Structure 1
């Protein structure tokens, strides 16, 4: 089982819930959560251990968000195609995804991870520069990653239609 498939299980992404997650409200409200997480962690200097309350709420939000919204009427938008591309990528052990995506996705995953680590160090040390650099790096590489998922979705959709 791929790491992405395991992560999908945590977020209860299977079958119909993938389609619910293609709802733009699901995609963009979840995507917009990072600044609130940063603020919640940073708030420890103002509210001490009470910062764990907004942090816990935000973690719960991230976990339940993909299943909260209704299946959209249309998937003809960038975000929905990115989610469906992620689904193909997560299930690549059972449905083959073109190999030319592997290296760019690995690089983007590494960049997201490095950005996340820099962000966490910045939050731990309360270093605003590291926090901002890490957040920007994580967000930019995530957007590029999602754009690659759109590419995968389009290729897989075309390949599926050609084999019918």
Structure 2
């Protein structure tokens, strides 16, 4: 196992079992649901002040638990293949044609995140909405690209 993978997996406490659980479609889709939940928690500071941090903490705890609470799955569906492809990316096994697209999608996601952060800081709905759409579309496309990466990896292994 290479050093990059060791560091990333250690920081996120991702074991083989955690990756298989994270590949469960319930894990993938409920992580998407955390985006508007976190936005609502932050926005709620306008109504409940510092108590909004309880909602923020609840979402963060959910995101930490999320990769461990669902049953492990094999890479048979779209979401699972995407997560298994993400694991290949973490290990550094990404051909250049995937790497360029993945970097662009990460950049798009960061732009979406910046719009969300700006909108939440000034409590303006349009940058939050635009940022959310940008972030979610970039993440969906990234999962799809990871799935293609995983399928390509499987084909190359079976041809060898």
Q: TM-score, normalised by structure 1?
A: 0.90
Of 105-114 and 19-28, deviating more is 19-28
- Pick one of 124, 134, 145 that aligns with 2:121: 124
- What SS class does the counterpart of residue 140 from structure 1 fall into? helix
**RMSD, aligned CA:** 1.6
- Kindly indicate whether residue 47 of structure 2 is the aligned counterpart of residue 46 of structure 1: yes
Any idea what the Cα deviations from partners look like across 1:115-152, whole Å, max 9, x if unmatched? 10111010011011111111111111111111110110
Unmatched runs of 5 consecutive residues or more in structure 1: none
Q: Distance in 2 between matches of 1:104 and 1:55?
A: 31
Unmatched runs of 5 consecutive residues or more in structure 2: none
Cα 1:147/1:117, change in 2 over 3 Å? same
Any idea what the Cα deviations from partners look like across 1:39-63, whole Å, max 9, x if unmatched? 1100001111000001001011111
Give, in angstroms, the shift of residue 14 of structure 1: 2.2
- Pick one of 137, 155, 161 that aligns with 2:134: 137
Q: Distance in 1 between matches of 2:116 and 2:6?
A: 25
Of 101-110 and 14-23, deviating more is 14-23
**How many residues are matched?**
158
Q: For residue 151 of structure 1, what is the aligned residue in structure 2?
A: 148
Cα 1:124/1:5, change in 2 over 3 Å? farther
CA contact (8 A) 1:97 1:156 kept: no
Cα 1:6/1:62, change in 2 over 3 Å? farther
Give, in angstroms, the shift of residue 101 of structure 1: 0.8
Q: TM-score, normalised by structure 2?
A: 0.92
Q: For residue 89 of structure 2, what is the aligned residue in structure 1?
A: 89
Q: Distance in 1 between matches of 2:11 and 2:35?
A: 18
Q: Distance in 2 between matches of 1:97 and 1:45?
A: 44
Alignment of structure 1 residues 3-22 onto 2, 5 Å: 6-22=7-23
